[in-house]
Amino acid sequence: MKLTIIGCGYLGATHAACMAELGHDVLGMDADMDKVRVLNSGKAPFYEPGLDDLLAKHTASGRLKFTASYAEAARFGELHFIGVGTPQQAAENAYDLTHLFSAIRRLATHLLGPAVVAVKSTVPVGTAAHVAKILEESAPAGGKVQVAWNPEFLRESSAIEDTLRPDRLVLGFDSEQSWGEAVLRQCFRKIIEAGTPTIVTDWATAELAKTSANSFLATKISFINAMAEVCEATGADVHELAEILGHDVRIGRSGMRPGLGFGGGCLPKDLRGFLARAGELGVDRALTFLHEIDAINNGRRERMVALVREQLGDTLASRRITIWGAAFKPGTDDIRDSPALAVAQGLHELGATVTVSDPKALDNARKHHPELGHVEDPVAAARGADLLLHLTEWPQFRHVDPERLARRVRTAKVIDGRGTLDLGSWRRAGWTVRALGRA
Ligand code: UDX
């Protein structure tokens, strides 16, 4: 098939490369010319494992191209995926849909014949109808343009695997007899034939699928982090508790790692966007618990700052603190709502001199947090530190030798915010050790 993807960020660029891998002819469209140039050279403008290889393979095979022109995208094929960002509004909890509606409008003016517009961007429930109205009013093809809702559940760091072998496919339409369904089934034929559960539903259910899935995942994480607080107060160990709970198949172990809480471009914003939409719909009481989920999550960052003050005293001026971790999670260079950087910024505001270390996210951290020090090598980053914070699940930090490190720092004090350091070996190497979720 010939298809396009409008918006080539983490979601869109990955989707474009994966659709080419499935055998389609793909045109990715993004308004950012620099991004288009990098993508056309077969590289990703961000770090995602395996994506450079896939982009290089398919820009070379001729199955994948990128453009900044809506007109070219509209002419290219009859299936257009929309993957533009829907961030949180600057001063509100609600989603900012400006980019989405503007992309739809600009594409619409060039749609001269039948087409399917399949939206993957995460939105408040009710947006599909609005998108359909814009298309009907602005596209010369009018009613011949169909809207399909196809939420995307990929996780950064395993985005290719999640796209090519998803847990499920969700396809939302406004009527049971939609020719758009046949178009999308053809597009995803290989994935469907591999046995992927495929749920065809209405627009509202498809829209809700994404925000409710992310709210559930956030709830699971905040639940175990609430237990971490109880553990800290009682001498229990939250990591062992999580394992015990996880053996119950009704609860499950995955997505319930305690630590500094969730961040990134999705979970925090989807919780808040969902709450805002529930308010508009008059069902906010049903979702009040999500406020608490958000508050527990922010509480872990505050708790980390409190632990630092416990270790170093209230006056942090002239104190040197090294933070391992800048990305919001391992396997990405994405620093959106990064818990580690939120702690770093908080400590900087309290007067500390803070240096962060991360294998992939330092360029982004430098750009958005010039007030911090940035050193890639974990050992060099800790030179002269009064305190080390382990705030990441990147595995390489776990393998640093605590004995060697003890000789570089000013004071051998560490706080483990992720629960993955072998604390026994750190203690034996002379470190004073504290951890979230452990007495
Ligand atoms: C998430 C959803 O998983 C994905 O389905 C959706 O499409 C987009 O949002 P992503 O943001 O890439 O994906 O990351 P995810 O792996 O879900 O982690 C989100 C955050 O939760 C990270 O900050 C991570 O460190 C944290 N997390 C995750 C935990 O603290 N504990 C866990 O057990 C799992």
Residue nearest to atom 28 of ligand 1 (CA): 255
> Which ligand 1 atom is the nearest neighbour of the CA of 155?
12
Residue nearest to atom 17 of ligand 1 (CA): 155
Using CB distances shorter than 6 Å, the residues near ligand 1 are: 152-156, 214, 217, 221, 255-257, 259, 261-264, 266-267, 328-329
Reported confidence tier of residue 118, pLDDT bands at 50, 70, 90: very high
Q: Which residues are catalytic?
A: 266
Question: Greatest CA span in the chain, whole angstroms?
Answer: 73
DSSP assignment, residue 92?
A: S
pLDDT digits (tens, 9 = 90+) for 52-98: 999 999 999 999 999 999 999 999 999 999 999 999 999 999 999 99
What domains appear along the chain, each with residue ranges and CATH number? 2-196 (3.40.50.720), 203-439 (3.40.50.720)
DSSP assignment, residue 286?
A: G
pLDDT digits (tens, 9 = 90+) for 385-400: 999 999 999 999 999 9
Lowest mean pLDDT among 38-52, 164-178, 266-280: 164-178
Reported confidence tier of residue 176, pLDDT bands at 50, 70, 90: confident
> Which ligand 1 atom is the nearest neighbour of the CA of 332?
12
pLDDT digits (tens, 9 = 90+) for 333-353: 999 999 999 999 999 999 999
Residue nearest to atom 14 of ligand 1 (CA): 155
Q: What is the pLDDT of residue 177?
A: 72
> Which ligand 1 atom is the nearest neighbour of the CA of 259?
30
Give the integer Cα–Cα distance in Å for 15 and 28: 9
Residue nearest to atom 3 of ligand 1 (CA): 155
Q: Tell me the average pLDDT of the chain.
A: 97
Q: How do strand 145-149 and strand 432-435 relate by DSSP bridges?
A: unpaired
Closest CA relative to residue 311, chosen from 432, 141, 158: 432
Q: Is residue 178 pLDDT above 90, yes or no?
A: no
Q: Please report, for residues 6, 164, 337, 371, the alpha-carbon distance to residue 225 in angstroms, rounded to integers and kept in the order given.
A: 37, 32, 18, 29
How many angstroms separate the alpha carbon of residue 163 from the centre of ligand 1?
16
pLDDT digits (tens, 9 = 90+) for 129-150: 999 999 999 999 998 999 999 9
- Residue 325 region by backbone torsions, left for phi larger than 0, else alpha for psi between -120 and 50, else beta: left
Q: Is residue 377 pLDDT above 80, yes or no?
A: yes
Q: Is residue 312 pLDDT above 90, yes or no?
A: yes
Q: b or e along 134-151 (b: 16 or more beta carbons within 10 Å of the residue's beta carbon)? A: bbeebbebeeebbbbbbb
pLDDT digits (tens, 9 = 90+) for 199-235: 999 999 999 999 999 999 999 999 999 999 999 999 9
Q: Is residue 411 pLDDT above 90, yes or no?
A: yes
